[in-house]
Amino acid sequence: MERSTTELERFWRLQGGECMIITQSLITQAKNRPNKIAIIDGEKRFTYKQFAQRVALLAGALEEAGVKKGDRVALLLLNESRYLELLYGITLLGAIAVPLNVRLSPVELDFILKDSGAKLLFMHKEFLPIVPKLRQEIASIERFVLCEDECAGDGMSGYEDMLSSAQPVELVGRVTEEEIAGIFYTGGTTGMPKGVMLTHRNLLSNAYNVGLALNYTADDIYLHAAPMFHLADGASTFAITVVGGTHAHVRMFEPNQVLQTIQDARVTSCLLVPTMINILINLPGLKDYDITSWRKVLYGASPCPPEVLKKAKELLPIQFYQGYGQSEAAPVLTFMMPKDHVTEGEPNLVARLASCGQPLAGVEVRCFDAEDRDVKPGEVGEIVARGPNVMKGYWNRPEESEAALRGGWLRTGDMATVDEENFFFIVDRKKDMIVTGGENVYSVEVENVVYTHPGVLEAAIVGVPDERWGEAVKAVVVVRNGTSLTEEELIQHCRSYLANYKVPKSVDFVSELPKSGAGKILKRNLRDNYWLGQSRKVN
């Protein structure tokens, strides 16, 4: 059945062309604004015409390397302009980009690369030590490409060498809007990552939603300060190109470098997670930088603590927007606008700081009870959503796709209340998930690793309140009789298999775990002990 077109999409189609294809906006800007600066990356500057030319050359290089429509191309990269070129060059051919979380362990990367069947892997020099292992383990990868200015090492292709010898591909659409543009891996309730399949239409619909909400224009200079592999940053990536704005880059978040780039590039907007905001406002040299160009920041993953937000509003000359969503929604579902960031005054207005805002114009968001009925104000239900930004499904997981999209609604797993003015307040999670420093951690992923330690009899992983990270990963463990095990030993064990943000920050040893009559560990009861006195059970 043909999917309906929203009024928002119709508006954007009139502005930017009929097809919702990722590369179309780049093609349009290269024609309309050929001499406008599209990219700032250190000393590098590329106009939209040059940006499009490099994308055409990259697509030609990919084609010469044997990449065809539907092939997967993986990206293990920190932030830089080549990341943008790859997102546009891969999708121009109808191939599928697979951005990889750079914080994952080799074991986790191994699984994702095998699951996706990636044909090429583009990477930065920081990840060269794991190449020998990947060569042995991942049969599908035909070429490793080093994305640096310097020459590649033995057995590696060089990105710039590939472009210099390639014939450019004509910048015309080869795909339809319903074809998959990217697979974005997220944690799974079974302990294994799931690949979220997002189409061109999914990603462009999100770009239009975000672009309207943030009022992006061609005058915006957006700083990629948060990781570009993360869809939180991706919420603005395509939106900035759609409006003809400028992309600025820092290789990774380092507070002084971020502030220096804001000053030098005259940055107007960026995305930060609350922990990044807290780091910036507590930086001793904050006042040494001229950041008067900075006008707005989108933050997400968790609400910003009121005291942090209050201090940030005093020190930073910007408007604050909060976004809520998930990878399956490409990713944004709700926004809290600057006018709703009230830190003092009427209690009912200040209380909204605990919310995640209201639904965006181009997506329908509701709160259902167990019978899929809308809850009344004050009642708790599951946040569900539908719209052109909602995923196609999970890669190679039809049953999980069907469950997540049951009845045509994306089931987020987040439990919330909704007030009379349609503000959503998340109170808990239906899924066994922890959000720490903006990253999702599924408890079962960590538990599977903890149980591989010979000294562990039983274990449960829970999220506990943390002033810096919002939530921290805690292991609660019963040790086998006759075995000694320390907190540091178990944490070190986990570091061998998990990304650092998934590793427990602390371990509590107990004589037994609470269980139901059927012998199931009552994790909810265990977790509640750590959240006593809190107004909500998540941060």
pTM across the whole model = 0.85
> Does 516 reside within a domain?
yes
| pLDDT score of 308 | 83
Cα–Cα dist 278/266, whole Å: 22
Whether residue 134 sits in one domain with residue 34: yes
> Tell me, what CATH number does 5's domain have?
3.40.50.12780
Q: Could you read off the pLDDT of 438-448 as tens digits, one per residue? A: 788 878 788 88
> Does 412 reside within a domain?
no
| pLDDT score of 314 | 92
Residue 96 structural domain: 22-175
> Does 521 reside within a domain?
yes
Q: Could you read off the pLDDT of 119-140 as tens digits, one per residue? A: 999 999 999 999 999 999 999 9
| pLDDT score of 1 | 28
| pLDDT score of 188 | 65
> Does 189 reside within a domain?
no
Whether residue 342 sits in one domain with residue 229: yes
> Does 248 reside within a domain?
yes
| pLDDT score of 502 | 93
| pLDDT score of 3 | 40
Q: Could you read off the pLDDT of 155-167 as tens digits, one per residue? A: 899 999 999 999 9
> Tell me, what CATH number does 499's domain have?
3.30.300.30
Q: Which helix (H) or strand (E) holds 325?
A: strand 319-325
> Does 398 reside within a domain?
no
Query: What pairs with residue 246 in β-bridges?
Result: 221
Cis, bond preceding 331 (omega within 30 deg of 0): yes
| pLDDT score of 302 | 65
The span from the first CA to the last CA of the chain, in angstroms, equals 40
Whether residue 311 sits in one domain with residue 239: yes
> Does 171 reside within a domain?
yes
> Does 514 reside within a domain?
yes
Q: Which helix (H) or strand (E) holds 60?
A: helix 48-64
| pLDDT score of 309 | 87
Whether residue 518 sits in one domain with residue 501: yes
Whether residue 151 sits in one domain with residue 29: yes
Cα–Cα dist 117/115, whole Å: 6
| pLDDT score of 433 | 79
Q: Which helix (H) or strand (E) holds 348?
A: helix 347-350
| pLDDT score of 532 | 82
| pLDDT score of 155 | 80
Which of 291, 238, 301, 244 is closest to 269 using CA atoms? Answer: 291
Whether residue 136 sits in one domain with residue 9: no
| pLDDT score of 190 | 62
> Tell me, what CATH number does 136's domain have?
3.40.50.980
Cα 325 versus chain centre, distance: 9
159, 175, 191 - which closes a domain? 175
Whether residue 47 sits in one domain with residue 11: no
Residue 463 CA: distances (Å) to CA of 222, 279, 388, 476: 33, 22, 32, 11
Return the half-sphere exposure (C-beta side, CA atoms, 13 A cut-off) of residue 154: 2
Whether residue 223 sits in one domain with residue 117: no
| pLDDT score of 283 | 93
| pLDDT score of 13 | 52
The edge-to-edge listing of strands for the beta sheet with 96-99 is 157-158, 143-146, 120-123, 72-76, 96-99, 180-186, 194-199, 393-394
Whether residue 151 sits in one domain with residue 68: yes
Whether residue 166 sits in one domain with residue 218: no
Whether residue 26 sits in one domain with residue 5: no
**Which parts of the chain sit beneath pLDDT 70?**
1-19, 188-191, 301-303, 430, 516-520, 535-539
Phi, psi at 118, each rounded to 5°: -60, 140
Whether residue 161 sits in one domain with residue 30: yes
Amino acid, single-letter form, for residue 91: T
Question: What's the total number of domains in the chain?
Answer: 3
| pLDDT score of 469 | 86
Residue 392 CA: distances (Å) to CA of 4, 56, 329, 437: 15, 27, 10, 27
